Structure formats: structure tokens, C-alpha cells
């Protein structure tokens, strides 16, 4: 069996490395409550990665989560009209 870490690339490799370091949830797949969500005041998501998936609960009582990819430097508007923005997270201690 080849070591999967040897052959993994990109996000997959980062995830495997994070898991190897004891972080079971490297992508921090939690759902964020929106702030006011305007472009001038987006919901800021800290991330160690250049891009990541975030989930938006578009309606307070919604049972579905709207997942979308966020990339640093590109604030994204969800279908519900709220903005999310990816920013550098502090390095892991």
C-alpha cells in the first residue's frame, strides 16, 4: 500500500496533513450565522486556506444549508443576498 500522503495533492493533501496533526476538522465545516451581510459589512470567515466551503442558512427557519466556495480577496454573495468574505486566520499554535 502506497502512503496516501505521498500522492495527495492540494486540498486533499492539506486535509490529510491536518488530520495527521490531530485536527479532525481541518476545513472547519461549521455553518456561520450571518451578520448584516452587506458588501461593506460581510460575514468574515477566517481560513488557513486560499479557498474553502462555507454554509449559509439563508432563512432563519431554513432546513437547508446553502454551501458555496469562498476564495480570498473575492467576497461572495449568497443567493439570499448576504455577503461572505474569506480572511487570513491566525496560524495554528
Quote the longest CA-to-CA distance of the chain.
51
Strand pairing category for 83-88 and 76-77: antiparallel
- 51 annotated as belonging to a binding site for a ligand: no
Q: Is 58 in the site for Zn ion (CB under 5 A)?
A: yes
Contact 26, 15 (CB under 8 A): yes
Shortest distance, CB of residue 37 to Zn ion, whole angstroms? Answer: 8
Q: Is 80 in the site for Zn ion (CB under 5 A)?
A: yes
Which parts are annotated binding residues?
A: 56, 58, 78, 80
Name the residues that contact Zn ion, by CB under 5 A: 56, 58, 66, 78, 80
Amino acid at each position: 500500500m502506497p502512503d496516501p500522503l505521498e500522492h495527495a495533492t492540494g486540498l486533499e493533501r492539506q486535509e490529510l496533513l491536518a488530520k495527521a496533526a490531530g485536527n479532525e476538522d481541518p476545513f472547519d465545516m461549521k455553518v456561520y450565522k450571518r451578520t448584516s451581510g452587506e458588501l461593506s459589512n460581510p460575514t468574515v470567515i477566517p481560513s488557513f486556506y486560499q479557498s474553502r466551503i462555507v454554509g449559509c442558512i439563508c432563512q432563519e427557519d431554513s432546513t437547508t444549508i446553502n454551501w458555496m466556495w469562498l476564495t480570498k480577496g473575492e467576497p461572495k454573495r449568497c443567493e439570499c443576498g448576504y455577503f461572505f468574505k474569506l480572511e487570513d486566520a491566525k496560524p495554528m499554535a
